[in-house]
Amino acid sequence: MIVKSKDDMAAMVEKYGFLPFFSSSIPGFSLEEISASEVWFPPNGEGVWEWKDDVISMTGGAYGRFFNSRPAFVSREFFTLLAAYRRDGYDYEGFEGDGHASRSERIVYEKLSETESEVSTYLRLKTGLSRQTFDKAAARLQMQTFAVISGFDYRLSKDGRNYGWGLARYALADILFGPNFEEKLDMLVPADAYETLIDRILTRIPCHRKEAESLLRYHYA
């Protein structure tokens, strides 16, 4: 399938459960590799960069640095399984209490918990962290599935169209997806969630198990 519209993007997310923005451990399966050239960097009008916010809304899922700290769209169902695996039975309080969260991650999480969502530039200012430290902490919170990008704020052209890459709007996954999200996580066994993810990838996308495992892998430093 060649992506030529935001409807195509949303359909891919809903069909496969996830869609990396850039190339990943699964060859040939990313927006970068399957988007028509006229929508990857369109000479005029909107393209995949401007459609990110719409696709998040259309799928009801999320966007974030979920795979090897690189961005991807995920459906809500896929994200629930991913969170069950990545969190390994932890909620954030337990995760922090056992010393897995760095100081900068704790600061970002605390500031983000004070609001339903916040644009990245304002969130960074609230934390007082340098751009590099903030970006690293935000990426780790996304890999840990505690934080997601719930949408994008765009500049508007004179004719009212979105343009540019957009400013990421961060949110805590547990707040974005509501109280039922935590209940669903409690019902899932991390190892079982992992095997379900592997099975879904292998049955929907032509790839090897090692490639799927590499996509999902994450070790807490």
What are the residue boundaries of the structural domains of the chain, listed by start?
Answer: 6-216
pTM of the entire predicted model: 0.93
Q: Give the closest residue to 176 by CA, choosing from 22, 48, 64.
A: 64
What pLDDT is stored for residue 164 in this prediction? 65
Name residue 172's beta-bridge partners: 147
Q: What is the pLDDT along the chain (221 residues), one digit of tens a residue?
A: 899 999 999 999 999 999 999 999 999 999 999 999 999 988 887 899 989 999 999 999 999 999 999 999 999 999 999 999 999 999 999 999 999 999 999 999 999 999 989 999 999 999 999 999 999 999 999 999 999 999 998 777 777 776 667 899 999 999 999 989 999 999 999 999 999 999 999 999 999 999 999 999 985 44
Q: Give the closest residue to 174 by CA, choosing from 96, 76, 100.
A: 76
Report the C-alpha gap between 147 and 64 in whole angstroms.
Answer: 8
What pLDDT is stored for residue 220 in this prediction? 47
DSSP result, 138-206:
HHHHHHTTSEEEEEEEEEE-TTS-EEEEEEEEEEEHHHHS-HHHHHHHHT--HHHHHHHHHHHHHHHS-
What pLDDT is stored for residue 170 in this prediction? 98
Report the C-alpha gap between 112 and 92 in whole angstroms.
Answer: 13
What pLDDT is stored for residue 218 in this prediction? 80
What pLDDT is stored for residue 86 in this prediction? 96
Query: Nearest 5°: CA angle at 153, between 101 and 161?
Result: 155
Q: Is the dihedral of CA 115, 118, 122, 124 positive or negative?
A: positive
What pLDDT is stored for residue 219 in this prediction? 54
